[in-house]
Every structure is written in structure tokens, then in C-alpha cells.
Structure 1
Amino acid sequence: MAPFFHLTRGGPAHQPPGGLQGRASDILFHAEEMRKTKHRMITLYAAHCGCRDDQVE
């Protein structure tokens, strides 16, 4: 069975949301990685459903 993701949470459903800590550069790096992951998940979901990215988001 494939893992289930909540696209609005930005992570797998089995992982609790966590806080970001550290220097500003570290936080920006992690925020950008989360943005890329969300975009990738939306793209994959849209392709699987046969619709456009903006219809998913």
C-alpha cells in the first residue's frame, strides 16, 4: 500500500508537524526544501489524476 500524504500539511501523514530551529540561513534552506517537496507532490498528484497543477493546489 502506498503512503498517504496530506498536501496541505507539507509532509507525510505519519509524521507530526515539527518546528524549525536554527540560524536564519538554516530555516530558509529548510523552508525552500519544503516548498520544493510540496510542488513535487502537487505535480505528481495532478499527473496521476489527469489534471493541471493549479486544479490540485
Structure 2
Amino acid sequence: MSILPNIKHIHGTSDRILPYKFVSADVKIKGGGHFMTTNRAEELTLKIRELL
């Protein structure tokens, strides 16, 4: 499997469905869970803008 250099993995540290300890994320969202795209949207938007 090849990983493209311009792909970034954003992951929450409190995700119970896909636990943070089992992934290799480029950006972590402290306290973010699996539903963080909805309940942490503003914080995610800021992180994405920083990456662009």
C-alpha cells in the first residue's frame, strides 16, 4: 500500500469505534470522538485550514 504525501489523517483521541491507539494520525484532536465532524466542526475546520 502506498500513502500519498498530500493526504493527512485527522483523528480524535477519544474515538471509541476506531481507538486512537490503533491508528497513526498526522493530526490529533484531543477529546474528539467518532462523531466529531458534527460536534467539533469548528475545531476541525480550523485544523483543515491550517493544513491547506
Q: Which has the higher contact order (CA 8 A, sep 6+)?
A: 2
More strand by share: 2
More helix by share: 1
Q: TM-score, length-normalised on structure 2?
A: 0.35
Q: Which has the larger radius of gyration?
A: 1
